[in-house]
Amino acid sequence: MRRLTRLIACGALTLALAGLHGMANAQRTALPIVDRDVHMGVASCAGSTCHGAVAPLPGIGILQNEFTTWQQRDKHATAYRVLLNDRSKRIAKNLGLDAAHTAAVCLDCHADNVAADKRHRTFQITDGVGCEACHGGAGRWIGTHIAANATHERNIENGLFPSANPVERARLCISCHFGDERRFVTHRIMGAGHPRMSFELDTFTSLQPAHFIVDNDYRQRKGSWNGVQIWAIGQAMAISMVMDRLTDPKQNRDGLFPELVFFDCHSCHSPMSELNWAPRRATGLGPGVPKLNDANFLMLQVIADRVDPELGRQLKERTLALHRASNQNFEGMVNEARQVKAIADQLVPRFAQRAFGSEDIRAMMAGILGNGLSGEYVDYAGAEQATMALGTILNAMRQTGIIDQGRFNQANSVLDKVFEAVKSDERYTPATFLAALREYREKAP
C-alpha cells in the first residue's frame, strides 16, 4: 500500500494573508477533462524558451523550467506509463478489462482523457497527466497568454483553469485523488489491486513537487494564501466532495453493501491478532463495526471549532449522527451525509475569507496535538492526516515568521519521527505514533 513520503519544506507555501481574486462564481469552472477547449499536448508547452528550460530562467517572474520539473520529478508524467506495468495488468485482468492503458476507467485519472474532438493533432494520450489536465485546454489561451497585455484574469477567461485559487485547486486534485461523478476508484478496483489513496492539498502541492514559487510577483498576479488556509480549504472540500459521492445513488452502493471505499480501510483490513480497538469520542461507535473513513472530519472539526464555533458544534453533532446512521440504515446515512455536506460548503467560504494569522496557526497546532494525544487519531487514516497537518502547520509557522529557521529545523527533525511512524500503513502501530507525537509536543514551538 502507499507510503507517505516526508514533506520537504519548500518555498511553494504561501505567506501573506488572503487575497480573494477570482473567487466569485469560480465554483462553476469546468474541470479540464470536460472543458470546451482543444487540448494541445505537452510538447506545445515544452519549448526551451517557454516552459522547457533546463533550469529556472531569470526575468519574467515564472520559472520556465516547469516542463523539466514535471518530466523528471513529477509522478503525473508517468501516470500513463504505470498503466502498462505488471500491477496494472493484474488490475485489468481481475476486472475483466482488455487492457488498463486503453480503458476509460483508468485513463480518466491517469491521463488527460478528453473527448476525441478536443484533441489537437499534437495531443498525445501517452503524456499522462500533462499540463492541460490541470491547467485546462490551451486551445484559446496558448497564443494570448504570452501577449504583452496578458493577465491571469484574462487567461482564465480564455480557458486557463484557475488552479491558483485553493478552492478550485482542491476540486481539481480531489477529482482524481478521490474521484468525482465521472471518475472513481471503487472498492472493487482496489480489491483488484489498486493502491489505497489519501490526499492533503497543501502537502501534496509541495510533494508534486511544486513548479512555481510564491513570491511577491506571484501574489500580485494571483492573490495569496497561506499553507494553513490551503490545508483548511482542502479539508472542507474533501468532505464536500466525498459526501457528493456518498449521496450519489450511482456510486454509493454495491449490491448488498454500501460502497466500501467510503469506509476506513483498516477497520476491515488489519490482522485479527492486533487488538487495537478503543472507543473514540468523534464516532461514538462500539467495537466490531466498520466505520466511515473520518480522517478529514477529524481535521475539519479542529478548524471549524476555531473559525466558526457554531458551525463547529453543528459539525460535531452531524458527524456523530452520520456515524450512527452508517450502522443503522442506508437512507439515514445518505440524509446525514447531505447535512454534513451543507456544513462543509458553508465552511469553505469562511476559510477562504479568513486570514489564518499566527493565533489561528498556533490554535491549530494545539488542537491537533491535544486531540492526537487524547487518542482521537490512532486509527491509521487519522494519524496520516494529522501528521500531514502538523507538517503544513510547522511550515506555515516558519513562513509567517512565528518561528525562525533554527527553531524550525529543531522541530522538524522531531516531526520526522511522526512521519516515520505513519510511513507504512502495514507497519503502523498506535503506540509508536503516540510516542512520536508526545515527543513532538515537548519540543514543538
The Cα-based distances of 88 to 79, 102, 107, 126 in angstroms read: 11, 11, 12, 15
Cell numbers standing for residue 297 = 472530519
Q: What is the CA radius of gyration of the chain?
A: 22
> Phi and psi for 161 in degrees, rounded to 5?
-70, 135
> Phi and psi for 151 in degrees, rounded to 5?
-130, 165
DSSP 280-345: -TTT---TTS--B--HHHHHHHHHHHHH-HHHHHHHHHHHHHHHHHHTT-HHHHHHHHHHHHHHHH
Q: 75 or 313, CB closer to ligand HEC?
A: 75
Instruction: Single out the residue of 15, 156, 164, 304 in contact with ligand HEC (rule: CB under 6 A).
Output: 164
Query: Cell numbers 439515514 label which residue?
Result: 332
Instruction: Single out the residue of 118, 135, 280, 323 in contact with ligand HEC (rule: CB under 6 A).
Output: 135
Taking contact as CB under 6 A, which single stretch among the options 103-111, 235-243, 416-424, 426-434 is the one that binds ligand HEC? 103-111
Contact string 20-49 vs ligand HEC (x = CB under 6 A): ----------------------x--x----
Site for ligand HEC in 215-244 (CB under 6 A): 218, 222
* Binding flag, residue 150, ligand HEC (CB under 6 A): no
DSSP classification of residue 184: B
State the alpha helices, DSSP H only, in 54-103. Answer: 66-73, 86-95
Taking contact as CB under 6 A, which single stretch among the options 189-197, 327-335, 352-360, 432-440 is the one that binds ligand HEC? 189-197
* Binding flag, residue 83, ligand HEC (CB under 6 A): yes
Specify whether the CB–CB gap between 84 and 78 falls below 8 A.
Answer: no
Q: 308 or 384, CB closer to ligand HEC?
A: 384
Q: How far is the CB of 159 from ligand HEC (least distance, A)?
A: 13
Measured on CA atoms in the order 282, 284, 286, 289, is the torsion positive or negative? Answer: negative
Instruction: Single out the residue of 5, 126, 220, 353 in contact with ligand HEC (rule: CB under 6 A).
Output: 5
Three-class DSSP category at 248: coil
Q: How far is the CB of 117 from ligand HEC (least distance, A)?
A: 19
Site for ligand HEC in 343-402 (CB under 6 A): none
Specify whether the CB–CB gap between 159 and 138 falls below 8 A.
Answer: yes
Taking contact as CB under 6 A, which single stretch among the options 115-123, 182-190, 316-324, 396-404 is the one that binds ligand HEC? 182-190
Taking contact as CB under 6 A, which single stretch among the options 71-79, 240-248, 387-395, 436-444 is the one that binds ligand HEC? 71-79
Q: How far is the CB of 357 from ligand HEC (least distance, A)?
A: 22
Instruction: Single out the residue of 18, 38, 40, 79 in contact with ligand HEC (rule: CB under 6 A).
Output: 79
DSSP classification of residue 402: S
Contacts of 109 (CB under 8 A, 6+ apart): 79, 129, 176, 183, 185
Q: Catalog residues that contact ligand HEC under the rule CB under 6 A.
A: 2, 5, 42, 45, 51, 62, 66-67, 70, 75-76, 78-79, 82-83, 87-88, 91-92, 95, 100, 103, 105-106, 108-110, 129-131, 133-135, 163-164, 169, 172-173, 175-177, 179, 183-185, 187, 189-191, 194-197, 204-205, 207-208, 211-212, 218, 222, 260-261, 263, 265, 267-269, 290
